[in-house]
Chains A and B, each alone.
Chain A
Amino acid sequence: MRTKSMLVGVSTLLMSSSLMFAGTVSGKVTFTGTPAKPKTIDMSKEPSCAKQHATPLTTESVVTGPNNGLENVVVYVSSGAPDDGQVPAQAVTYEQKGCQYLPHVLPMHVNQELKITNEDQTSHNIHPLAKVNHEWNKSQPPGTPAISEKYEKAEFISVKCNVHPWMHGVFAVMNTNHYDLSKGGGAFKLPNLPPGKYTITAWHEDYGTQTADITITSNETKDVNFTFKAKAY
């Protein structure tokens, strides 16, 4: 009994010390070259959606920010993360509003609850094109309750609406909670990483994947940057 409580005590101490000495990976995702110009989306066939956008929406596959920053890149710890299997209790929400998916890329943990809402006055039919996970598509008329789903395996899933062909998004289902989505100037931050060796992966829906191996030794902030080559078409 005594040994057990001692072990618990030591492991607690170790865990808290590892958090105390937790490091952070931060950096920027940028692109080189000239990306294709975003295309305007014509929603005239769905007036209730079109009128919600003062300026017409443009395609969101490639979203750039100042200083060649690349947004909507999922940066995550693909190996070495200490908390695999810890499913967050809180659900993530995917909104269909103005015939657009908000957010465009939704990161989540494997088995985390995913809530899909329809804020529009029109029916949507959400169809995530899962290949590893079970594929489904569900119709959601206006005013109906949120759809609740979860994915059992890690996968980057392209999402489309079977009613509105221009609607497109991504579910990024991962085996880790150490992830971030690059914003503004392409910045990302992965805090609370205990000392150890990690592989950091950056995934972009059009430009592919890049990885970087890093070692965190103490309470430090490691700078990791990713540069993708833009496609002109």
Chain B
Amino acid sequence: MARLFAITIVVIAILSAIPILRHTWVAPEDISTHGALIDEQMSETMAEAGISFLAAQFILAFFVWKFSNRAPDAKLKKFPGGAKGLVIGALLVVGIEVMALGLFGVKAWANVYLDAPSANAMPVQVQAGQFAFYFRYPGVDGKFGGLHPELINEGSQNIFGLDPEHDVDARDDIVAAEMAIPVNKEIHLLMHAKDVGHSFFVRELRVQQDFVPGLDVSLHFTATKIGKYEIVCTQLCGLGHYNMKAYLEVMSQQDFDDWLKKQAGQ
């Protein structure tokens, strides 16, 4: 019985590794300049985790196979020198593995978070609230108006709480329910939440970042392919979470300029 269990462990481990090795489920097309680094990081992580997983299952199966049919009066075998050394060794191996993943991941992480965006990156602000994303562009003056949460009024579509009556910078701000960006242009995404935690996830962009209430989070990316992609919230945020999405339209510079003009006229 125990040997059957050992065999089952090995079979399950191998079967679960097959679709990964055969690349049965491929990631969606990458449309960002940094995406290759993220994909590489994911592959490395998958390889390390996969090898560790298979090794752990095989060792487990081996021990079950070898030591399960012990006679009732047989003497218990102990690990030579006690378990202390083994535990320390395991901690070191796992620690080194995690450190290595972190070190290899730095370049992907830094590319999005730590390096400053270039000087001509285009700022776009995104506000997440139950249960929609809204986007703001600074308008022709290139300056965002100040935010006044007490002025937020969705009935009159003052989604961000702007004060155009007193704040000149806010007057030409453009607010939209979809995100349009020019292709091959670096975007500096400024994120804040109106209420609870949310997340901004575009699979093709390889960007997934949480909104944290009270924190201004920012990241930057460059989209390289024209198209329409889905932005979804991947942080459970309440009743309408399933329906919290928006669209990202990557356009040519000309189309984007036209789009922006049209939005400004509304």
Contacts and interface: CB of A to CB of B under 8 A. Distances in A.
B73 interface: no
Interface stretch (A5-13, A18-26, A145-153, A156-164): A156-164
B243 A165 contact: no
Given A44-B178, A45-B132, A162-B130, A233 B165 contact: yes
Contact of A166 (B157, B164, B239): B157
Interface in B152-203: 153-157, 159, 163-165, 176-178
Interface in A28-83: 36, 39-46, 59-62
Contacts of A42: 176-178
A168 interface: yes
A126 to B, nearest CB: 12
Contacts of A233: 163-165
Contacts of A232: 165
Interface bin, chain B: 20 to 34
B81 interface: no
Contacts of B165: 231-233
Contact of B246 (A39, A40, A45, A231): A45
Contacts of B238: 162
A36 B153 CA distance: 14
B178 A165 contact: no
A62 B157 CA distance: 12
Interface in A86-104: none
A165 B129 contact: yes
B178 A168 contact: no
B155 A59 contact: yes
A206 B153 CA distance: 11
- Looking at B163, B164, B240, B246, the one whose CB has the most chain A CB atoms below 10 A away is B240
A45 B245 contact: yes
A125 interface: yes
A205 interface: yes
Interface string B114-150: 0000000000000001111000000000000000000
B239 A139 contact: yes
B130 A158 contact: no
A122 interface: yes
A156 to B, nearest CB: 13
Nearest to A122: B243
B266 A40 contact: yes
B177 A163 contact: no
A160 B131 CA distance: 12
A59 B240 contact: no
Contacts of B129: 165
A44 B230 CA distance: 12
Contact of A59 (B157, B245, B247): B157
Nearest to B247: A44
Interface in A132-180: 139, 158, 160, 162-166, 168
Contacts of B177: 42-45
Given A232-B165, A233-B164, A163 B178 contact: no
Contact of B156 (A39, A40, A139): A39
Interface string A175-218: 00000000000000000000000000000011000000000000
Contacts of A125: 239-240
A174 B151 CA distance: 27
Nearest to A205: B155
A165 B131 contact: yes
Contacts of A139: 239
Contacts of B239: 125, 139, 162-163
A162 B156 contact: no
B131 to A, nearest CB: 6
Given A39-B156, A44-B178, A233-B164, 8 more contacts: A45-B177, A45-B247, A122-B243, A125-B240, A162-B240, A164-B131, A164-B132, A165-B159
Interface of A: 36, 39-46, 59-62, 122-123, 125, 139, 158, 160, 162-166, 168, 205-206, 231-233
- A-B complex: 7 closest residue pairs judged by Cβ atoms: A168-B155, A42-B177, A163-B240, A233-B165, A39-B157, A40-B266, A61-B156
22 contacts: A39-B156, A39-B157, A42-B177, A45-B177, A59-B155, A59-B157, A60-B155, A61-B155, A125-B239, A125-B240, A160-B155, A162-B131, A162-B238, A162-B239, A163-B239, A164-B131, A165-B154, A165-B159, A166-B157, A168-B154, A168-B156, A205-B155
